[in-house]
Homo-oligomer: A and B are copies of this chain.
Amino acid sequence: MEMQRRLRNLAHPLMLGAAFAASATPATTQSEQRVRSPDGRNEVTVESRDGGLYYSVRRDGQAVLLPSRLGFLFRADSLHNGLRITSVTRDSADQTWTQPWGEVASVRDHYNELRVQVAEDRAPGRRFAVAFRVFDDGVGFRYELAESAGFADFEMMEELTEFALADNARAWWIPANKPEPDRQEILYSSGPVSRLDTVHTPLTLQMSNGTQVVIHEANLVDYAGMYLVNLGGRTLRSTLARWADGVAVRGRAPFVTPWRTIQLADRPEDLAPSTLTLKLNPPSRIENTSWIDPMKYVGIWWSLHIGTETWGSGPKHGATTANTKRYIDFAAANGFGGVLVEGWNLGWDIDWFNTGKANFSFTRAYPDFDLPEVARYAKQKGVTLIGHHETATMIDNYERQLEPAMELYRRHGVRAVKTGYVGDLTEHGHAHQSQFMVRHHRRVIETAARNGIMINVHEPIKDTGERRTWPNILSREGARGQEFNAWGGEGGNPPEHETILFFTRMLAGPMDFTPGIFDLLIERPTGTPRQPHEARPRTTLAKQLALYVVLYSPLQMAADLPENYAGQPAFQFIRDVGVDWDTTRVLEGKIGDYVVVARKQRDTNDWFIGAITDEEARSFEVPLSFLTAGQRYVAEIYADGPGAHWRDNPLPVVISSHPVDSTTRLPIELAPGGGQAIRIRPER
């Protein structure tokens, strides 16, 4: 990592603020402080007014956030009134580093910073700072609570950070604090921000002037996850996930909060890939990352969801030694790096899902699963097992076993573990995204790192850029993935679903969506009696391929049963497609309608294009100007075949090869619910 940080700390006593005010609009006061992004387009203003502390955000001179109040509610009192700015500090930086894996290899962290020192005019006279970093792609800010005579240990009930949108922007949202409070496995709705209730982040908003706004957070380490609640009108405010006793955050000053992030772009296509949260996380704590290894994988998983095999013991038990070896053979034969095994460990035979009484062992296998033998076989075949820890949110049970469980896997050469947190609250009643759980997830990541193990979390806390600091947290769920198409839950995922995910959930970080279902015609028997015909993916087969490029994950599953890939020429794309990218370019995109994205594989000259649409057929013509000029390439195209339609004819795929170069304009035709997947490789 090359660090080219240029520091210039300039401490201003408040009266120096006037020097800045001189260049500002007449409405400014001496207490108003401004800071702009390096390109000058984004500007944050901070001011104290009538004892309240406010920030606002403008882009190109147009308001994005109107004056929005800052503060906290503690158990004892609030830190919200009688505030004045005592001094400000300015800073800037420009550094570029290489992520060990990602949507892009190189990330430039270029910002101007304004740190505002604030004092409380009344007892207990607390002090804190708010640090604003303004980037070309958005804004991050966080609070830094200082220790003082009257303030050390605290119990925070709420963070009172407002986001007063300047426009009744259109929001794409999923509800929070509803029956499924924190797992985020919910279909998106859209509507004016004035009609939101409580929602999850990332929250993607489109202003009527075309500006795209994404509110999220970064570096959630020892704090509660933030939701956004509508205060009426178009002002959103943070509201925090809670411990069982209702407290949001327990801490001791000095204390820094996570960063609140406001990503800004001119078009939806410019939102991805999003690196704002990475820039607001500390550099990697793992020095040697060579063991961290993006890969494709298969596993004993889809069979469990469609009911042909079981997690628990019995005649249909999936995780047997023989069956796992079959998957290992399949992985090795097709160049996949890993084999996931769910249901290998004791605890699956009780109805933990409905009773909430899970008691999993993370070290003891079912008798028909010989871990040492399977691990030996995998190693011999050049494949890693991907272990599995379903906690059912019984966190004590998991943490008691965490060290030996990771150690067991390490001893057997298991290089990755999928964890699971099916459940709304922990066994002690802490919320899914509470500070308690945030701490727990960090503990798991760090324990895994010490054991050389990569992590893939399902039903996770949201991604706030932890992968920069701990690059062994490779992927996670945190949205409705393919599994909902196995159950038909809430009607399965509609054709538009992934075109929304790309501009919402995916802006937080990688998602283990598990694409690649080829057996699209069979309606599964596992739907509820009332919805028997919905347990199926609502895409064409070509769209299943395109999802490998569109929905980024350094762990990409070929989720279908190995036998369903047999004799399928389209499977070649899954064999070929990359999982680690040098460059990403969004060529076309409209939230909820379509996405066309091109990504260059790291360490090769191959490009991959994924194009997906909602229920409407669409046509695009894509200039391949991103290719190296003068180089001749071959485009291997997997397109929706004649008459393809997600509803009743999802299987037709036409595979063709064409010579292309940087001057080519490639036509792309998508069927209703369809997609197209393209590999572009240099001509051999």
Q: Which of B164, B192, B197, B209 contacts A490 (CB 8 A)?
A: B192
A164 to B528, CA, bound (A): 14
User: In the complex the two chains form, what is the Cα distance from A188 to B186 in whole Å?
Assistant: 20
Report A166 CB to chain B, min CB distance, Å.
Answer: 7
Alpha-carbon separation in the docked complex, A534 to B233 (Å): 14
Query: Is A66 at the interface (CB under 8 A from chain B)?
Result: yes
* Cβ–Cβ contact B530 & A164, under 8 A: yes
A192 touches B531 (CB 8 A): no
Q: Is the CB of A191 within 8 A of B192?
A: no
Please determine whether B192 and A190 come into contact, CB atoms closer than 8 angstroms: no
Number of copies: 2
- Cβ of A71 under 8 Å from chain B: no
A103 CB-CB contact with B under 8 Å: no
Contact B188 A191 (CB under 8 A): yes
Select one of B66, B197, B491 contacting A192, CB under 8 A.
B491
Closest residue of chain B to A495 (Cβ to Cβ) is B208
A232-B179, A530-B66, A538-B208 known; A494-B168 Cβ under 8 A: yes
A286: CB under 8 A from chain B? no
Whether a CB of chain B sits under 8 angstroms from the CB of A195 is yes
Q: Smallest CB-CB separation from A590: which chain B residue?
A: B616
Q: Kindly state whether residue A674 has any CB partner on chain B within 8 Å.
A: no
Binary CB contact string for chain A from 137 to 178 against chain B (1 if under 8 A, 0 otherwise): 000000000000000000000000000101110100001000
The minimal Cβ–Cβ distance linking A61 to chain B, given in whole angstroms, is: 12
Task: Known A187-B191, A190-B190, A195-B187; judge A209-B647 contact (CB<8 A).
Answer: yes
Q: Does A662 interact with chain B (Cβ within 8 Å)?
A: no
Neighbouring B residues of A187 by C-beta, 8 Å = 168, 191-192, 194-195
Tell me the nearest residue of chain B to A63, going by C-beta: B533
Q: Flag if B168 contacts A491 (CB, 8 Å).
A: yes
Residues of B within 8 A of A615 (CB): 208
Distance, CA A190 to CA B166, complexed state (A): 22
A234 within 8 A of B: yes
Chain B residues with Cβ below 8 Å from A190 are: 189-191
User: How far, in angstroms, from A545 to B524 measured CA to CA in the complex?
Assistant: 51
A188 to B233, CA, bound (A): 15
Please state if B195 and A491 are interface contacts (CB–CB under 8 Å): no
Given contacts A190-B189, A209-B647, A647-B208, contact A531 B166 (CB under 8 A): yes
Least Cβ–Cβ distance between A618 and chain B, in angstroms: 13
Write the chain B residue with the least CB distance to A673: B208
A602 to B492, CA, bound (A): 47
Cβ of B179 and Cβ of A189 under 8 Å apart? no
Contact of A195 among B189, B233, B234, B492 (CB under 8 A): B189
Q: In the complex, what residues of B have CB within 8 A of residue A232's CB?
A: 179
Given A189-B191, A189-B195, A194-B187, A170 and B494 contact (CB-CB distance below 8 Å): yes
Contacts of A538 in B (CB 8 A): 208
- Which of A168, A197, A232: most chain B Cβ within 10 A? A168
Shortest Cβ distance from A187 into chain B, in angstroms? Answer: 4
Using CB atoms, name the residue of chain B closest to A530: B66
For A609-634 the 0/1 string (1 means CB < 8 A from B) is: 00000010000000000000000000
CB-contacts of A467-521 with B (<8 A): 490-492, 494-495
> Which residues does chain B contribute within 8 Å of A495, judged by CB atoms?
208
Chain B residue nearest in CB terms to A593: B593
Q: A491-B208, A494-B170, A538-B208 are in contact. Are A195 and B186 (CB under 8 A)?
A: yes
Question: Could you mark each residue 179-216 of chain A with 1 if its beta carbon is under 8 Å from any beta carbon of chain B, else 0?
Answer: 10000001111111011010000000000110000000
Closest residue of chain B to A615 (Cβ to Cβ) is B208
- Bound-state Cα–Cα, A232 to B179, Å: 9
Q: Check if A490 sits within 8 Å of B194, measured CB to CB.
A: yes
For the complex, give the distance between the alpha carbons of A99 and B170 in Å.
Answer: 40
Within 8 A of B (CB), among A328-372: none
| A488: nearest chain-B partner, CB-CB | B168
Q: How far is the CB of A517 from chain B (nearest CB, A)?
A: 17
Complex Cα distance A543/B186, Å?
37
Q: Determine how close the nearest CB of chain B comes to the CB of A301; give it in whole angstroms.
A: 24
Which of chain B's residues has its CB closest to A206's CB? Answer: B615
Q: Which residue on chain B has the smallest CB distance to residue A646?
A: B208
Q: Which residues of B contact A194 (CB under 8 A)?
A: 187, 490-491
Chain B residues near A166 (CB-CB < 8 A):
531
CA distance A194 to B179 in the complex (A): 12
Distance from A455 Cβ to chain B, minimum over Cβ atoms (Å): 31
Q: How far is the CA of A615 from the CA of B167 in the complex (A)?
A: 15
CB nearest to A496 among chain B residues: B170
Whether B189 pairs with A192 at a CB distance below 8 angstroms is yes
**Within the assembled complex, what's the spacing in Å between the Cα atoms of A354 and B340?**
64
A196 to B, closest residue via Cβ: B189
Q: Which residue of B lies closest to A165 (CB)?
A: B491
> Interface 1/0s, chain A 54-68, versus B by CB < 8 A?
000000000000100
Would you give the shortest CB distance from A244 to chain B, in whole angstroms? 25
Please list 21 pairs of residues, one from A and one from B, whose beta carbons are closer than 8 Å in the complex, sorted by A's number.
Answer: A164-B530, A167-B491, A168-B492, A168-B494, A170-B494, A187-B191, A187-B194, A188-B191, A189-B190, A189-B191, A191-B191, A192-B490, A192-B494, A194-B490, A194-B491, A208-B491, A208-B494, A208-B495, A208-B538, A208-B615, A208-B647
Q: Which A residues have a C-beta under 8 Å from some C-beta of B? A: 66, 164, 166-168, 170, 175, 179, 186-192, 194-195, 197, 208-209, 232-234, 490-492, 494-495, 530-531, 534, 538, 615, 647
